[in-house]
Amino acid sequence: MRLQWKYALIINISVSVVLVAFYVIDDYRARRYLEILHVQDFERGATFRNVSGTIRNRVEQEIRWMQDFDRATIEASLHKLLQENNPDMTDVLDINITFGINASIQASLKQGKDAGLYINFTEADLQEILQKRVQVYNTVELDDGKYASEMILPYDVDLIGEESNENKVSGLIQVLFATPDINKYIQKLRLIRLIAMFVVIVLLGVVIWVTTNWLIMQPLENMMMIIEHAEADDFPRTEIPTASGTIGKITNDLVLTLTKLKLAHAKRFEVLSQFAGGVAHEIRNPLNSIGMTAQYLKNIFFQKELNQQDLNEVTELLDIMNYETEQLKKISEQFLTLNRPRQLKLEVVSLNRLLDFVLVEFKVITDNSRIKILRNYDSELPQTQLDNEQIRQFFFNLIQNAIQAIQPKNGSIYITTNIEQNVGRNWIIASIRDTGVGIPHQIQERIFEAYFTTKEREGGIGLGLAIAYQIIMAHGGKIEVKSQVGMGTEFKVFFKC
Domain count within the chain: 3
User: How confident is the model at residue 134, as a pLDDT?
Assistant: 62
DSSP 8-state symbol, 338? T
Residue 336 has pLDDT above 70, yes or no: no
393 lies in which domain range? 346-496
Domain presence at residue 393: yes
Question: In this structure, is residue 204 part of a structural domain?
Answer: no
The reply to whether 10 and 131 lie within a common domain is yes
Single residue among 187, 206, 229 that ends a domain in this structure: 187
* Entry pTM: 0.41
pLDDT digits (tens, 9 = 90+) for 366-382: 877 888 999 999 999 99
DSSP H or E stretch at residue 284: helix 245-301
Instruction: Return the pLDDT at 285.
Output: 64
Averaged pLDDT, 303-313: 78
DSSP string, 370-439: SEEEEEE--TTPPPEEEEHHHHHHHHHHHHHHHHHHHTTS-EEEEEEEEEEEETTEEEEEEEEEE-SS--
pLDDT at 472 over 50: yes
Examine residue 209 and state whether it is found in any structural domain, yes or no.
no
pLDDT bin (cut points 50, 70, 90) of residue 312 is confident
Pair 331, 417 in one domain = no
Q: Is the same domain home to 435 and 360?
A: yes
Looking at the structure, do residues 148 and 21 belong to the same domain, yes or no?
Answer: yes
Collect all residues with Cβ–Cβ distance below 8 Å to 59 and sequence separation of at least 6.
Answer: 74, 77, 78, 97, 155, 173
My answer on whether 363 and 315 are in the same domain is no
Parallel, antiparallel, or unpaired: how do β-strands 478-484 and 411-422 relate? unpaired
pLDDT, tens only, 408-455: 888 999 999 999 887 678 899 999 999 999 999 888 888 887 767 766
Q: Which range among 13-22, 182-191, 292-301, 394-403 shows the weakest confidence by mean pLDDT?
A: 182-191
Position 115 confidence tier, pLDDT thresholds 50, 70, 90:
low
Burial class (CB in 10 A: 0-12, 13-18, 19+), 166: exposed
Q: Do 442 and 359 belong to one domain? A: yes
Average pLDDT, the chain: 76
Section 10-30 average pLDDT = 75
pLDDT at 318 over 90: no
Neighbours of 390 (CB within 10 A): 19
The percent of residues in the chain predicted with pLDDT above 70, rounded, is 69
Indicate if 360 and 285 belong to the same structural domain. Answer: no
- Collapsing DSSP states into helix, strand and coil, what is residue 342? coil
Strand 411-422 versus strand 384-387 pairing type: unpaired
pLDDT in the model for residue 488: 93
Q: Say if 198 falls within a structural domain.
A: no
Q: At residue 41, does pLDDT exceed 70? A: no
Q: Is residue 115 domain-shared with residue 17, that is, in the same domain?
A: yes
At 235, is the pLDDT very low, low, confident or very high (cuts 50, 70, 90)? low
Answer yes or no: is 53 within a domain: yes
**Do residue 77 and residue 116 come from a single domain?**
yes
49 in Cβ contact with 134 (< 8 Å):
no
Mean pLDDT, to the nearest integer, of 164-177?
76
Which CATH number does the domain housing residue 54 bear? 3.30.450.20
Q: Per residue in 53-103, pLDDT tens? A: 888 888 888 888 888 888 888 888 888 888 887 787 888 888 888 887 665
Q: Which residue, of 299, 320, 337, is where some domain finishes?
A: 337
Which pLDDT does position 354 carry in this prediction? 92
Does one domain contain both 48 and 88?
yes
Contact predicate 316/303, CB 8 Å: no
In a domain, 224, yes or no: no
In a domain, residue 199? The reply is: no
Note the pLDDT of residue 127: 73
Give the domain CATH number at 455. 3.30.565.10
Question: 408: cis peptide before it, omega within 30°?
Answer: yes
Instruction: Based on the fold, state whether residues 131 and 161 are members of the same structural domain.
Output: yes
Q: Which residues are registered as beta bridge partners of 433? A: 414, 490
**What is the band of 281 on the pLDDT scale with cuts at 50, 70, 90?**
low
- Give the integer Cα–Cα distance in Å for 411 and 370: 7
How distant is the alpha carbon of residue 379 from its chain centre?
Answer: 63
Would you tell me how many other CB atoms lie within 10 Å of the CB of residue 127? 10
How far apart (Å, rounded) are the C-alpha atoms in residues 177 and 52? Answer: 10
For the beta carbon of residue 78, count every other beta carbon within 10 angstroms: 22
Q: Of 337, 362, 388, which residue sits at a domain end?
A: 337
> Which range (117-121, 237-241, 352-356) has the least confidence?
237-241
Count other Cβ atoms within 10 Å, centred on residue 286.
Answer: 19
- Average pLDDT (193-197) is 78
For residue 238, what pLDDT band results from cuts at 50, 70 and 90?
A: very low
Residue 405 located in a structural domain: yes
Same domain, 173 and 30: yes
